[in-house]
Structure 1
C-alpha cells in the first residue's frame, strides 16, 4: 500500500458550542460522520457527539490517526473510513469527542458528560446513530479471566496496537471472526484455531437468499478474499462446532468442543467469542420508541421509516442502531437522513440526490437477508446449560432464570424485579436478549412476549458531583427535561 499522510482531522473541540442548534448527531461511526458531512455541505450547523476519543466508531476506530502500517493491517475496507473524515476545521461543525450522552428528551434536549463536567444542548433535529453492540455468547466458563469478545480484541488492536502473546482461539459465528483472524494473521499472532459454530441448517436457509448476495456483489468478493487469505495462513479451522466450554480453574486453560463428531480440547491463553452484533437499543428503549422482534437475528429493531423517521418528530435513526446493515450502508443511511433533514429545514437538497442515495442504499442492503440467515445465532447459545451465567453483573445463571419463571415470572421486567438481572452497571446491554430467550423457552412462548427491560434515564452512570455542579444552559426545554 502506498505511503500517504492521514487526512487532517480537527484536533480541538470548540468550547463555545451553541446551546441551540438545528442538528445534533449522536454517534461518530459511519452513519454519524456521513450525516454531519452532508449537513455541513448544506450549511446546517451541527454538533457531533461520541463517547470515544476520536471519529470512526468500531469499524473505523482510530482512522483519524492511522499510519500506513495500520492501514495495511486492517485492510481496504478500513481505509474507506478516510472518505468520511473532515479535511479542515469548520466553524459550523462542533465535534464533541469524549462526550457520554446520558439523556435525550423528546423535544430535542441532549444531556452529556465530557471531561468530568455535565453539559446540555438542544437540537431541532437529532440523528441517532448509536451503532451496534456485540451479542453475548454465553457458554460454560465464559466469565473466566482470559475470555473476551472478539470486538474487545479488535478494539485493543485498533486503539493501542495490542496483540496477544500466547496461543489465541477465535470461536463463534459471524463475518468479524474471519476478518479478525486475518488481521491477527497479518500481525503475526499465533492463532491456535478458528472454531466456527454456524449451524449447517443456516447454509440451507441462506441459499434461498443467494440472488441478493450476487446482486450486491461486494460482500461476496470480500468473503471470498478472506477465505483465501485464511487458507494461505494455514490456520486450523473447525466448522459446525458444538458443546463449547471454556476450561480452567481461576483462569482460562483451554477450549473444549465437538466438531464433525470428534471431541477436541485445545490449549489457549486467550479465547475471543463472537456471535454477531445487534442494534444498540438503549437510547431508543429509553425514549419509549416502538420496537419489533426480528425472528431471524433474534434481536429487537427500533421501528423507523424512510430517512430514519421515528414516532418522535425530530428524532431520526441511521446505521446499525436501527438494524444491522454494515459500514457502507450505514453511511448511506446517515447521508439520507441528513438530506431529509436539510429539506425540512428549507435547504435546496436536490430530490435527485435523495433518490440516488436511496437507490444505492437498496442495492447495498440486497445482501443482508443472506448474511442474516447464514449467521443467525445457533439454538445452543440461545438456550444455554443451567450452570451458565447469563447476567454477568449480578452473576445470575440460566437455572436461576428458569427457577424464577417457574415461580410465575413471565416478562423481563417482572424477572428483573424478582431476581435482579439487568440491574447491574451495563443495564441489560449484555444480558437482555439472553434473559428473554431463556425466559420465553421456559414458558414455551414467543420471545416478543417476554419483552425487554424497561430503561430509565440516565442510561449510563453519572457521578453525583457532575450533576450537583451542572447548570442548565439557556435551552428551550420541554416537559421531559
Structure 2
C-alpha cells in the first residue's frame, strides 16, 4: 500500500490558503479530512507524524519491511479505506497532507480567518511553516496518564501505550516477561498484543473493578460490540495463561543490575488505597503501565475553548451537536472531547467535517448519514462515559507514594517536596506547587507529572494553558511578522 502523498510544506514566511485546516492525522483527523474533501472543501491535514494514522494506526518503520502490518491493529480496513481516499483527494488537489508538521499555535487572521504556525521537518531540516484557513478542526488526540510509584523510573518500566507503540512501529517487545498494569480497557489490548507477539504476560493488574460498568447497564446494552471485543481480549488472556487481577495495583518496582526484575502488587481498597500486608512479588523484566489517556488540549485552551471535567477526571472540551467548540470557527473531534476510542473518533470526524462544510458552503452529508453518525456518536459517548467513571483513579492511590519517590521525572521532584509545598508552604493548587518545587517545568511541561501533582495537591487536573503547544526554535519566533 502506498503512503499518502506528503506535501512539501511552505518555506519561511510562506502560507497555504485552504478552507479547512485539520490538526492531527489519527482516526478523527483522517476521517474529517477525507469527508471535508469529498464535500468540496480544500483541506490541509497537519500532523507531527511521518504517515497518516496517528498513534492508533501507527505503522512499522518502512526499513523493517513488515509484510502484514494489519496483524498489529484492530479495524485496519477502516484506515486503509480512508488512507486511499486521502491519496485520491491529494492527487485531485483537494487535500494536502503536511507530515512532520508540529503545530505550535493557532491565531486569528483578519483576512483568512485562522493562521496555524508549525515547526516543519526534524533536526537540521527544521523550518517554520504556516497555513491559513477559513476554519480549524482540532483532532490532537491524547497522551498516557501515568501515576508514579516507587521504582517507576527503572529501565524496563514503560507506558502501556508505549509498549504497544514499540511493537507497532519497531516490531520489538519491551521485555520477554511483561507485567501489564494500571487501569482501563487499553490494558487488555496491550496484554493480548504482547502475548500474540511472543511475550509472557504473567498478570494484567487492573486497579479498578469491572463491577463499575454495572452502574450503567443501558450503555452496555447499546454497545454489544464493546462487550464482544472485551470477550475476545479475555479469551486471548486465557489462552496465554495470563492472570487478571482486578482491584490491584503495582505499588513498587524492584531493580536488579540496573533494570526492573520484579514488581510488588497489592490489593486496593475502594478508594485505591493499598491494603496493608496484601503485597505479593511477581518476577518480570518489563512493566507496561498506564492509567488511561488524557486529552491533548494545548491548542484548544490557547484559543480559549471551554472545557469540562470528563467522567474519568481528565479535562475535555465542551462540544456542540456538530462538534463545534465554544470558539466560533473551531471544531474538534476524537479524544479532545473525552477519551472514547477509534470508532467514536471516526464518527466524530465525519460529523465535524459535515458541520464545517455546512457552515462554509451549505453542503453537508446526506441527512440519513448524518443522523446515523449522530446516533453512533451518542451511543459510543455513553459507553465512554461509563468506561471513564469505572476506571477513574481513586484518591487513595497516593498512599503508595513514598516521600522519596520522584513525581516529576524531568526536574527530579520527589513526592515529599510536593507534600511539603502543600502542608508547610501553603500551596493550594498545582500552579503554586509548580512555582515552589519546579514540578512540571521540565521538557514534558507537566504532561507526565500533572495528574500526580494535582492529586497530591487535592484537586482535579486543570487543562494546560500555554501560548506554545510544543518547543519552538527562537529563530522561528523572531522571523514572525510584527503583527504576530
TM-score (norm 1): 0.88
Worse-superposed segment, 213-222 or 82-91? 82-91
1:121-167 Cα distance to aligned partner (Å, 9 max, x none): 11110000011111112111111122110111111111111123532
- Number of paired residues? 455
Find the aligned partners of 1:169 and 1:419 in 2 and give their Cα distance: 32
Relative to structure 1, the CA distance from residue 401 to residue 64 in structure 2 (aligned partners, 3 Å threshold; closer, same or farther) is closer
Give ranges in structure 1 of 5+ residues lacking alignment. 1-5, 441-446
Find the aligned partners of 1:15 and 1:301 in 2 and give their Cα distance: 31
In the alignment, does 2:456 pair up with 1:427? Answer: no
CA contact (8 A) 1:64 1:85 kept: no
CA contact (8 A) 1:207 1:370 kept: no
Find the aligned partners of 2:189 and 2:379 in 1 and give their Cα distance: 23
CA contact (8 A) 1:27 1:129 kept: yes
CA contact (8 A) 1:147 1:273 kept: yes
CA contact (8 A) 2:298 2:464 kept: no
Aligned partner of 1:90 in structure 2 is 92
* Counterparts of residues 56-75 of structure 1 (less than 5 Å): 56-62=53-59, 69-72=68-71, 74-75=72-73
Secondary structure of the 2:104 match is strand
TM-superposed deviation, 1:384: 4.7
Secondary structure of the 2:68 match is helix
Find the aligned partners of 2:372 and 2:204 in 1 and give their Cα distance: 40
Q: Which runs of 4+ in 1 moved over 6 A?
A: 63-66
Give ranges in structure 2 of 5+ residues lacking alignment. 269-276
CA contact (8 A) 1:147 1:272 kept: yes
CA contact (8 A) 2:9 2:98 kept: no
* Counterparts of residues 45-124 of structure 1 (less than 5 Å): 45-62=42-59, 69-72=68-71, 74-87=72-85, 88=88, 89-107=91-109, 108-115=114-121, 116-124=126-134
Aligned partner of 1:235 in structure 2 is 242
In the alignment, does 2:281 pair up with 1:265? Answer: yes
CA contact (8 A) 1:254 1:269 kept: yes
TM-superposed deviation, 1:361: 1.5
Aligned partner of 1:394 in structure 2 is 411
* Counterparts of residues 54-453 of structure 1 (less than 5 Å): 54-62=51-59, 69-72=68-71, 74-87=72-85, 88=88, 89-107=91-109, 108-115=114-121, 116-198=126-208, 200=209, 203-242=210-249, 244-248=251-255, 250-259=258-267, 262-294=278-310, 296-349=311-364, 350-381=366-397, 384-385=400-401, 386-406=403-423, 407-440=425-458, 447-448=459-460, 452=462
CA RMSD, Structure 1 to Structure 2 (Å):
2.5
CA contact (8 A) 2:249 2:267 kept: yes
Aligned partner of 1:10 in structure 2 is 4
Relative to structure 1, the CA distance from residue 68 to residue 379 in structure 2 (aligned partners, 3 Å threshold; closer, same or farther) is farther
TM-superposed deviation, 1:453: 6.9
Aligned partner of 1:36 in structure 2 is 33
